[in-house]
Amino acid sequence: MKPYQCLELIRSSGVIAILRLKNAEGNATAGANALLSAAEAIRAGGIRAIEVTLNTPGALALIEKASAHFDGSIRNDHCVAFGAGTVLDASSARAAILAGAQFIVAPTLKAEVIELCRRYSVPVFPGAYTPTEILTAWELGADMVKVFPASIGGPAFIKAIKAPLQQIELIPVGGVTLENTADFLRAGASAVGVGGELLDPQLIQSEAWPALTERARRFAQAAQRT
């Protein structure tokens, strides 16, 4: 998948599903199979971008298998973009990219992470909050900027930031719910990042795939109410 295709997937669906698990469940193969099934479930609901946080046990192996399984043309409905999240330094970003990550998300602003991603032509979304941090991230080469935590300020904060910085694409993360997804996007966000409210670890462990599909469908529908 080309970088612009990855960004187009994210913009068109308006939602990045965030997978963060604290404990490994079963062996690595079982974990990868569960992730593939979860990805199929939310893809069926209209969400086509998944961020696997690097503090999830076996994250790199999960990304490698999932990226190979779902990669392809953006016009192929089977295609899902898999990225790595909670990336704290350049070495972690490089490891994730070599494992197949198609985008990189960081909770903080580090120039070395952006520089590394630019070198590999992989979209990067560093974390920032203040107007100065957001503009700095953009000037350093961020494709989009993760606004974290979005629970502080909410959609009104995104609208206020976009007024003077309308050229910067924002992804609010932290505190995004089904009820406020449309509000964030109407305020000017290019997409939102959603964790447990969408990819609920309990639903994954219990293999409740139809329930995941329904959650994804509701978020996808909310993202289009802009």
Q: What is the pLDDT of residues 101-129, one digit of tens each?
A: 999 999 999 999 999 999 999 999 999 99
The distance in angstroms from the start CA to the end CA of the chain is 27
169 within domain boundaries: no
**Which tokens go with 117?**
């991603």
Q: What is the pLDDT of residue 72?
A: 65
Domain that holds residue 217: 3-125+191-223
- The mean of the pLDDT values for the chain is 92
Q: 65, 110, 146, 169: which is the annotated catalytic residue? A: 146
86 within domain boundaries: yes
46 within domain boundaries: yes
36 within domain boundaries: yes
d(CA 75, CA 30): 29
Angle between helices 209-223 and 28-44 in degrees, nearest 10: 40
d(CA 209, CA 207): 6
Residue 179 a catalytic site member: no
Tell me what the mean pLDDT of segment 14-43 comes to: 79
Q: Which alpha helices (H) appear in 24-86, and where do they start and end?
A: 28-44, 59-70
User: Is there a contact between 187 and 162 (Cβ–Cβ < 8 Å)?
Assistant: yes
CATH of the domain at 21: 3.20.20.70
116 within domain boundaries: yes
Q: 40, 51, 139, 179: which is the annotated catalytic residue? A: 51
Q: How confident is the model at residue 73 (pLDDT cuts 50, 70, 90)?
A: low
Rounded to 5°, angle at Cα 224 from 223 and 226? 95
d(CA 148, CA 104): 15
54 within domain boundaries: yes
Instruction: Give the total number of structural domains in the chain.
Output: 1
Of the two residues 36 and 168, the one the predictor is more confident about is 168
Residue 146 a catalytic site member: yes
Q: How many CB atoms lie within 10 A of CB 24?
A: 12
DSSP 17: E
